[in-house]
Amino acid sequence: MTLHNSEIKDPALAEVGRQRIEWASREMPVVRLIRQRFGAEKPLKGVRIAACLHITTETANLALALKEGGAELVLCASNPLSTQDDVAAALVDYGIPTNAIKGEDEATYYRHINTALDTNPQLTVDDGADLVTTLHSKRSDLLSGVIGGTEETTTGVVRLRSLAKAGRLKYPIIAVNDAQTKYLFDNRYGTGQSTIDGITRATNILWAGKKVVVCGYGWCGHGIALRARGLGAQVIVVEVAPVRALEAVMDGYQVMPLREAAKVGDIFITATGDKNVIDEAHFQAMKDGAILANSGHFNVEINIPALESLARRKRRLRGFVDEYTLADGRHLYLLGEGRLINLAAAEGHPASVMDMSFANQALCLEYMVKNRGKLEPRVYSVPEEIDQEVARLKLHAMGIEIDRLTPEQEEYLTSWEEGT
């Protein structure tokens, strides 16, 4: 339904969305603090922001903080299947134009991105870099008005670094993903818990005793493996990077090539940021009943076209479960159409970790405006003082105190003279 520069599923869902946004806010004390300060200081006054993010309750709390800071904000979805329609309705109700409908097709997805770009944004907030790449490739007439941007996820940062390396990135972007207070918590504990949650909600399987194959032992893979083991699963890790594979071995997991793991796994979860990680030869080796899910950013980690062409029958058994029957009668079950399962079948990350990711987002956007014109068109790290500040505020909100260095220790840790 189209209204006030927005396209959402159903405005009548707004009240439910508002209540859920309020509930998430209880777990987002750092964003709440920033929102209060932004309300008083208005650091984003009149700044036009286009944000391409998963439309969830946590994103809504970030959006409200940016609006409170004076921003003129428009939102669109960063994935066709991750939108919470009640949240989209509530955002429109709060006066924030939103273009996102759960299950939208690719043409609608890009139309929504273009609607957000039509506002001529000065700042971009992206999750996966679809907004920024559309801006650079198809809407380059708008680039001159952009001050800067932020990027939320690993895959987006990889794409932007590649754009910068080709000399084609036209404005500065801060890689929020690479803040310690982001990836150590959001990617690890957030993706860990919510991926298990998404698969459980989609299938209602028992994890205890299952052989779970985790492809990719980055921060997301760390979290998924940790939580699956916690539920009693036997975890096998598949990697291509020697150091990470070694780390997985010493963390106590079995490590083997996917062609071997394919024969024994009950559940396969990808979190690599790579494509065709689970491919035709692997499908051919899998046991009857194997379950396939992806938690990486794009739906390319499992080779779905290959699975489609191997299958002689496909049917939807539950909301997010597609059964593929292969020529020899085996069944493979693909969850959430291979899209990030934690957002497709569950609610994405718990608010408490998004509190830190989105605190980084808000503070980096403020930093961009303060440093307008001073930054070069490249991918920047989150300033160290912002990263530390987010950790300090989070600890404070949790009621946890830590020790401080004494002056003597400070001196010792910055000098070379003292030895044995």
Ligand X SMILES: NC(=O)c1ccc[n+]([C@@H]2O[C@H](COP(=O)([O-])OP(=O)(O)OC[C@H]3O[C@@H](n4cnc5c(N)ncnc54)[C@H](O)[C@@H]3O)[C@@H](O)[C@H]2O)c1
| Contacting residues toward ligand X, per CB under 6 A | 153-155, 183, 187, 191, 215-221, 238-241, 244, 271-274, 277, 295-297, 340, 342-343, 348
Kindly tell me which of 217 and 268 has the beta carbon lying closer to ligand X.
217
Kindly tell me which of 238 and 365 has the beta carbon lying closer to ligand X.
238
Q: What is the dihedral of CA 215, 323, 314, 293, to 10 degrees?
A: -20
Minimum separation from the CB atom of position 165 to ligand X (A): 17
Kindly tell me which of 92 and 345 has the beta carbon lying closer to ligand X.
345
Minimum separation from the CB atom of position 107 to ligand X (A): 23
Geometric angle at alpha carbon 51, from 393 and 184, rounded to 5°: 40
Kindly tell me which of 31 and 277 has the beta carbon lying closer to ligand X.
277
Minimum separation from the CB atom of position 251 to ligand X (A): 13
Minimum separation from the CB atom of position 146 to ligand X (A): 23
Minimum separation from the CB atom of position 219 to ligand X (A): 4
Q: How many CB atoms lie within 10 A of CB 279?
A: 16
Minimum separation from the CB atom of position 357 to ligand X (A): 9
Residue 301, φ and ψ in degrees, nearest 5: -75, -35
Which residue, among 154, 298, 301, 280, has the nearest Cα to 214 in the 3D structure? 301
Minimum separation from the CB atom of position 307 to ligand X (A): 17
Kindly tell me which of 38 and 183 has the beta carbon lying closer to ligand X.
183
Q: How many CB atoms lie within 10 A of CB 309?
A: 9
Minimum separation from the CB atom of position 237 to ligand X (A): 9
Query: Residues near 75 by Cβ (< 8 Å), separated by ≥ 6?
Result: 51, 52, 53, 55, 59, 63, 91, 96, 97, 98, 99, 100, 116
The residue nearest ligand X at its CB is: 218
Minimum separation from the CB atom of position 417 to ligand X (A): 39
Kindly tell me which of 115 and 272 has the beta carbon lying closer to ligand X.
272
Kindly tell me which of 240 and 321 has the beta carbon lying closer to ligand X.
240
Q: How many CB atoms lie within 10 A of CB 319?
A: 11
Kindly tell me which of 130 and 366 has the beta carbon lying closer to ligand X.
130
Kindly tell me which of 35 and 227 has the beta carbon lying closer to ligand X.
227
What does the alpha-carbon distance between residue 328 and residue 323 come to, in Å, rounded to a whole number? 14
Contact criterion met (CB below 8 Å) for 310 and 282? no
Kindly tell me which of 173 and 215 has the beta carbon lying closer to ligand X.
215
Minimum separation from the CB atom of position 246 to ligand X (A): 11
Kindly tell me which of 25 and 154 has the beta carbon lying closer to ligand X.
154
Query: Residues near 407 by Cβ (< 8 Å), separated by ≥ 6?
Result: none
Minimum separation from the CB atom of position 293 to ligand X (A): 10
